[in-house]
């Protein structure tokens, strides 16, 4: 008699409602298709987006939902048409697991801007089934959306790079802000901001951290290596820094005025918006016109940029500041993250956790 095919399942920690509380949830995984990579999850970073999605802050959440989009794992199986990955390799998966592969964005290798992109979780895959993220034992992912983790880069360190690191690397690369000697600033010192400092410094930039108080000054300068620290409520400091910056990476995820920061930019300076903000941002047009300045938006980065960024971080010895926790601590971690009580990224040791309890 032939063998009976057994459905493949995995267990993750899912939100069931807008309380955002996660608990064990077992669900099916598709069989490994010709272009798929079957991955055992080892580590997964925790991002503010996971909170927004789990709590339905954006009004688009579907439950049950397993969050997690900074996934590092080990390849267990590859499809018949997969040539770039082999069993046993360490790999990463970020925010996106699918796209149309036909539009101008996909053909230009910027699939994150495809209008038919498929999110790692809280979305519907091409087979009509919901996508689930990396707070789980395993994933099956199209090879196009999988990246190799360079040897020598610790998997727990690589996890936050797949979102936070990529988010700051991509615009610096795209806007040709990679030459040494540039003067840049990081507005907001959280998970993304701290990676901004590290990556910009590794590119040879003079880096200023802009914050609302002196509270993080020692951290920014003594531990992260920033060259200067600017308190945005200090009018004298802001005036002295006017017309001095080539760019500002704005990582603040809540509404805030833009004009104070536009005044810090040189002629042709660029303010790059990274924070997801659900309310209009305002400025008066002469702030741009009189310095030929620009405001840009950017969203994570491409798969190609992800690979480049991981190699860059390996070569430069860039490491994120992390706190590793087990899955049974995830609800407390999300609570602490919401209060910005972490330096600077939680990473879940998924492989070392008991997922079904």
- Does position 2 have pLDDT exceeding 70, yes or no? no
Q: Please tell me whether residue 329 adopts helix, strand or coil conformation.
A: helix
| C-alpha span between 332 and 314 (Å, rounded) | 31
Quick one: tokens of 102?
């036909």
> Can you give the pLDDT at residue 293?
98
Q: What is the mean pLDDT of residues 175-201?
A: 96
Share of the chain above pLDDT 90, in %: 92
> Can you give the pLDDT at residue 3?
35
Mean pLDDT across the chain, nearest whole number?
Answer: 95
pLDDT of 263-307, one tens digit each? 999 999 999 999 888 789 989 999 999 999 999 999 999 999 999
pLDDT of 150-173, one tens digit each? 999 999 999 999 999 999 999 999
Backbone phi, psi, residue 238, to 5°: -65, -40
Q: Please tell me whether residue 346 adopts helix, strand or coil conformation.
A: strand
pLDDT of 205-252, one tens digit each? 999 999 999 999 999 999 999 999 999 999 999 999 999 999 999 999
> Can you give the pLDDT at residue 4?
38
> Can you give the pLDDT at residue 1?
32
* Strand-pair partners of 296: 272
> Can you give the pLDDT at residue 5?
44
């Amino acid at each position: 008699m032939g063998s009976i095919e057994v459905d493949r399942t995995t267990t993750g920690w899912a939100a069931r409602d807008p309380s955002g509380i996660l608990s064990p949830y077992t669900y099916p995984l598709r069989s490994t298709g010709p272009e798929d990579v079957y991955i055992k999850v080892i580590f997964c970073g925790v991002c503010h987006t996971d909170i927004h999605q789990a709590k339905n802050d954006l009004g688009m959440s579907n439950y049950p939902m397993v969050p997690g989009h900074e996934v590092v794992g080990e390849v267990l199986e590859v499809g018949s048409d997969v040539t770039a990955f082999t069993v046993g390799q360490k790999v990463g998966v970020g925010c996106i697991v699918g796209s149309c592969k036909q539009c101008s964005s996909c053909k230009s290798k910027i699939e994150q801007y495809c209008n038919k992109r498929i999110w790692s979780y809280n979305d519907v895959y091409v087979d009509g089934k919901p996508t689930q993220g990396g707070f789980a034992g395993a994933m099956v992912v199209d090879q196009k959306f999988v990246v190799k983790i360079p040897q020598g880069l610790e998997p727990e360190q690589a996890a936050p790079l797949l979102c936070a690191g990529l988010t700051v690397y991509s615009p610096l690369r795209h806007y040709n802000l990679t030459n040494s000697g540039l003067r840049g600033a990081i507005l907001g010192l959280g998970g993304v901001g701290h990676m901004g400092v590290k990556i910009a410094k590794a590119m040879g930039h003079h880096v200023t951290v802009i914050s609302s108080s002196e509270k993080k000054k020692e951290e920014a300068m003594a531990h992260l290596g920033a060259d200067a620290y600017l308190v945005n409520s200090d009018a004298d400091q802001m005036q002295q820094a006017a017309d001095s910056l080539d760019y500002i990476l704005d990582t603040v995820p809540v509404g805030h005025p833009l004009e104070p920061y536009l005044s810090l930019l040189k002629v042709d300076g660029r303010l790059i918006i990274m924070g997801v903000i659900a309310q209009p941002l305002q400025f008066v047009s002469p702030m741009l016109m009189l310095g030929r300045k620009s405001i840009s938006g950017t969203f994570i980065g491409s798969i190609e940029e992800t690979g480049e960024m991981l190699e860059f971080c390996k070569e430069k010895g860039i490491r994120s500041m992390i706190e590793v926790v087990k899955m049974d601590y995830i609800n407390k971690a999300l609570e602490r993250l919401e209060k910005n009580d972490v330096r600077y990224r939680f990473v879940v040791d998924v492989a070392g956790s008991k997922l079904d309890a």
